[in-house]
Structure formats: C-alpha cells, structure tokens
C-alpha cells in the first residue's frame, strides 16, 4: 500500500520518497521470505526434497539483504537528519535527493554483492535453521559485526549532536517541542540498538562456535539464541509501517501546500516516528 501510494500520488521524488521506496522494497523481500521460513520450520530436513536447495539460498539471501539494507538506510536517514539540523545551510548541497538516491543505490549494490557469498556457499539441508559452516566463516561474519558497530556509533553520535543542537537553539530549555524531539530521537536510537545489537552479538558468538573458537557444548544454545535474536531484529520491519504512515502523510501535506513534496527533516525508521521542521523545535 505504501509503495502504491507514493508511486501514484507523489509527483516529485524527494528524499522522503527515496527513503520510503528503499525501505518498502527491503521490507517486501523479508515479507516474501517469512512464509517459507514458517514452512521450513515444519518440514525441517525435508526442505531440499520438497522445495530445493537453490530456492532456499534465494530465501536466506533475501533475509540478509533486508537486514543490512535496513541498517544502512536507517543510518543514512540519521546522518541526513544530523546534517539538516546541525548544518542547515549546507544541507541542500550535501544531501540532495540525487545524492541520497546515489548512496542508496550504492548500498544495494554492496549488500547484494555480499549476499552472493551466502547464495554460493550455503549447503543447508534444513532451510534457515542449520546454516552451512562456510556461510558462517568468521572472515565473512566479523566484517558484518564491524559494519553494525560503525553504524550504531554513527547513530549515537548524530543523535547526541542533534539533541545538543536543539537545546542550544531553543529559546526555552523547557520547550515542549524540544523535549518531544529529544524523546523521539532517543526512542528511535534505543529501538535500533535493541533490535539489532543482540542479533549481531549472537551471530558472532555462533560463528565463533562453528569455527571452533568456542566450545562445542554451547553450539545448540547459541543456535537457538541466534534465531530468537533474528526474530527481534525483524520487529524493525513491522515498525517501518508506522514510518510509512507518517512519511506519506507529510508528503501529501506538502503536495497540497506547494504542489511539490518538501523533505522531512526528521523521519526515523526504527520507531516510525516523524517530527517536522526539526530545525526550529519551538514551532511544535
């Protein structure tokens, strides 16, 4: 519905339009894979006979693409918001829609290229539930952890910078708009960390057990922990629907006011909350 709405109703692509498009496509990949994951849980080792290994590789790859495109796009939104608030005079040149579209395209190319490793090395008999040791090669998993840590640090630093900038510019430190913006920023940040931090910790530990760095007695326990934390990470996809609502609402409002969509200064995918015109919190 979000994809149909923005494609049919938005006349001019903006940054908000680009973000929604990328997140909708990314989430759709996961939604396509989830019913088959449920099916895989019930058929277990009969998957290869009933559905085929190649199809399993595709599904596992789609889940990987969703996770890391979501992480990178959410981080990009946070950086874009930081530039708009802390460096408003440079925002139009630094983060134009064309630049954002190019960065998003680069994200898809990089993530899909890394996904080829999963597709060509997975030999799972039970789709999703027993990943091939070659997929869990520490040389492949460790960089994923580094990418997440870097993205998390960027979000923390950008959020702190935005909060300080808002407080410095507010005429009244107790201004409700400023307080609301701060709460939204922190809740979005915490949700991002809660959704993705346990998964990456479990993934690194499980890969370490598979590669012999941790005792085999923890193998099954870590495997179950990995699946549980993956479910938690997928919650972020569900919360994106709230973001779509606010993003489309803002785009429609901008279309009615000026005939062209105005980019939102704050739109975060982790909680789906948006706060308009964040450069001037007193306007709230």
Query: Structure pTM?
Result: 0.82
Question: Quick one: pLDDT at residue 89?
Answer: 78
Tell me how many domains the chain contains: 1
Question: Quick one: pLDDT at residue 272?
Answer: 37
Closest CA to 242 of 23, 12, 18: 23
Question: Quick one: pLDDT at residue 178?
Answer: 62
CATH number of the structural domain spanning residue 105:
1.20.1070.10
Question: Quick one: pLDDT at residue 268?
Answer: 41
- Confirm if 19 and 258 have CB atoms less than 8 A apart: no
Closest CA to 143 of 165, 110, 169: 110
Question: Quick one: pLDDT at residue 281?
Answer: 34
Q: Distance between CA 157 and CA 105 in Å, rounded?
A: 25
Q: Which domain holds residue 85?
A: 2-283
Residue 272 has φ and ψ, to the nearest 5°, of: 80, 10
Q: For each successive 10 residues of the chain (284 residues), what is the average pLDDT?
A: 77 80 91 88 76 84 91 91 83 81 94 87 73 80 93 94 80 59 78 92 90 82 89 85 76 64 41 38 34
Question: Quick one: pLDDT at residue 257?
Answer: 65
């Amino acid at each position: 519905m979000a994809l149909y709405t923005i494609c049919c109703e938005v006349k001019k692509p903006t940054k908000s339009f680009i973000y929604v498009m990328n997140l909708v496509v990314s989430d759709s990949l996961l939604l396509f894979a989830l019913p088959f994951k449920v099916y895989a849980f019930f058929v277990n080792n009969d998957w290869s006979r009933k559905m085929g290994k190649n199809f399993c590789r595709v599904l596992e790859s789609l889940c990987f693409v969703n996770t890391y495109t979501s992480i990178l796009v959410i981080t990009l939104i946070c950086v874009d918001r930081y530039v708009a608030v802390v460096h408003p005079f440079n925002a139009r040149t630094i983060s134009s829609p064309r630049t954002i579209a190019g960065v998003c395209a680069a994200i898809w190319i990089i993530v899909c290229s890394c996904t080829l490793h999963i597709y060509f090395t997975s030999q799972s008999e039970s789709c999703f539930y027993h990943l091939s040791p070659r997929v869990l090669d520490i040389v492949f998993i460790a960089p994923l952890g580094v990418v997440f840590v870097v993205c998390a640090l960027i979000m923390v630093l950008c959020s702190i910078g935005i909060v300080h900038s808002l407080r410095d510019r507010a005429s009244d430190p107790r201004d409700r708009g400023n307080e609301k913006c701060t709460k939204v920023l922190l809740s979005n940040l915490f949700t991002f960390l809660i959704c993705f931090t346990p998964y990456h910790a479990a993934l690194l530990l499980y890969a370490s057990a598979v590669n012999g760095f941790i005792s085999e007695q923890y193998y099954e326990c870590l495997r179950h922990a990995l699946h549980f934390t993956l479910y938690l990470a997928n919650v972020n996809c569900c919360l994106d629907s709230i973001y779509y609502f606010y993003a489309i609402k803002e785009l429609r409002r901008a279309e009615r006011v000026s005939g062209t969509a105005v980019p939102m200064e704050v739109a975060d995918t982790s909680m789906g909350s948006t706060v308009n015109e964040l450069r001037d919190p007193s306007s709230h």
